[in-house]
C-alpha cells in the first residue's frame, strides 16, 4: 500500500486545468473551425465554379458565387475531411485550430456570409447556459445516459476519453450512468439507424423531466455520411429536442468538454 501511495505521489497531477487555464497545445494536424478567405473566394468565383461544393461528400457546402454572394458551410454536415480545401483553386478554405464548435441552436452551425471569417469564433454562435430553473438543478450534478444509435465508435471513444485521468469530467459533476432512470439527460451519437429508432425513443421517455438532449458528432446532428440513407433517421434532431449540438467527425474531446461546460454555465 505504501509503495502505491509513493508511486502515485511521484506521478504528480495529470488532470488538465481547463477551463481555469488554457488547454494543452493541440496537434498541427488538428482541424478546428473552418476558415474562409472572403477575398480569395470572391476573386476565384469566375473559375472555381463551386469546386468546393462539388467536392464535399455530404453536401455541407453550397457555393452561390463566393462568400459574399451566399456561400454557406454547414458544420452539422461537415466531416472535416478537407476535400473542399484540396479542391479550391484559390485555397480560400482551410481549418483553424479553434476547438470551440458546440452551439445551442442548429442554425448556428451554418457559417455564411454574415459569419466572421478567420480563426476567431463568433461568441454569439457558441453554446449558452441552460435556463436558470434547469441550471439550478443540474449545474453542479449532471448525469447523462449515452446512446450509440448506429455510430462507428469514433464519437463514442472520444466521449469515453473525458472520463480518463487527464480530463476527469467528474470534477465538474458530470457522470455517465447506465440507466435512463438515473439520468438527467441523453447524449446521442450515431445517425440513428432504423433499428435503433425505437430504442432511442424509449430511452428518452424513461428519463424523468426536466431532461436535456445532446447530439455529439455529425451523424447525430444530420446523419453525417449516411444522411439521406433509407436505413437512418438523419440524426436525432427530428426525434429529440436537442439542447447542445457538438459537430465533428468525430469531435475532439476538448470540443465536447467545452460544449458541456458552456451548457452548464461554467465558461
In angstroms, the Cα distances linking 30 to 154, 221, 255, 260 are 15, 21, 12, 20
pLDDT band at residue 91 using 50, 70 and 90 as cut-offs: confident
> Residue 217's pLDDT is what?
95
Reported as a single tens digit per residue, the pLDDT across 137-153 is 888 899 999 999 999 99
C-beta contacts of 113-120 below 8 A and 24+ residues apart? 113/67, 113/68, 113/69, 113/70, 113/71, 117/35, 117/36, 117/37, 117/38, 117/67, 118/35, 119/33, 119/35
Q: CA-CA distance, 49 to 85, in Å (whole number)?
A: 14
What cell does 84 get? 473542399
| Ordered structural domains, the chain, with CATH | 34-125 (3.30.70.3270), 132-263 (3.40.50.12280)
**What is the arithmetic mean of pLDDT over 32-39?**
82
- pLDDT reported for residue 42: 62
Average pLDDT over residues 43-56: 71
pLDDT in tens, 96-147: 889 999 999 999 998 864 444 444 566 778 888 888 888 888 888 999 999 9
DSSP result, 161-191: HTTSTTT-GGGGTEEE-S-GGG-SEEEEES-
Does residue 69 carry a pLDDT above 80? no
Quick one: pLDDT at residue 199? 95
Amino acid at each position: 500500500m505504501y509503495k502505491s501511495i509513493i508511486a502515485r505521489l511521484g506521478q504528480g497531477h495529470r488532470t488538465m486545468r481547463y477551463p481555469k487555464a488554457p488547454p494543452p497545445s493541440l496537434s498541427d494536424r488538428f482541424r478546428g473551425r473552418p476558415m474562409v478567405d472572403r477575398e480569395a473566394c470572391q476573386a476565384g468565383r469566375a473559375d472555381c465554379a463551386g469546386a468546393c461544393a462539388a467536392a464535399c461528400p455530404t453536401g455541407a457546402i453550397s457555393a452561390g458565387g463566393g462568400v459574399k454572394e451566399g456561400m454557406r458551410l454547414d458544420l452539422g454536415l461537415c466531416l472535416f475531411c478537407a476535400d473542399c480545401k484540396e479542391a479550391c483553386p484559390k485555397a480560400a478554405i482551410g481549418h483553424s485550430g479553434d476547438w470551440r464548435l458546440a452551439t445551442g441552436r442548429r442554425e448556428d452551425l451554418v457559417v455564411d456570409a454574415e459569419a466572421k471569417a478567420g480563426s476567431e469564433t463568433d461568441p454569439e454562435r457558441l453554446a449558452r447556459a441552460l435556463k436558470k430553473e434547469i441550471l439550478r438543478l443540474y449545474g453542479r450534478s449532471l448525469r447523462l445516459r449515452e446512446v450509440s444509435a448506429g455510430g462507428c465508435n469514433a464519437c463514442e471513444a472520444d466521449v469515453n476519453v473525458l472520463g480518463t485521468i487527464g480530463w476527469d469530467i467528474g470534477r465538474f459533476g458530470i457522470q455517465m450512468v447506465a440507466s435512463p432512470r438515473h439520468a438527467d439527460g441523453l447524449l446521442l451519437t450515431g445517425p440513428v439507424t432504423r433499428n435503433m429508432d425505437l430504442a432511442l425513443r424509449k430511452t428518452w421517455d424513461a428519463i424523468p423531466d426536466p431532461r436535456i438532449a445532446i447530439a455529439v458528432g455529425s451523424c447525430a446532428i444530420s446523419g453525417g455520411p449516411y444522411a439521406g440513407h433509407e436505413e437512418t433517421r438523419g440524426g436525432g434532431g427530428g426525434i429529440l429536442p436537442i439542447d447542445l449540438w457538438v459537430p465533428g467527425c468525430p469531435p475532439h474531446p476538448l470540443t465536447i468538454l467545452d460544449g458541456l461546460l458552456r451548457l452548464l454555465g461554467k465558461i
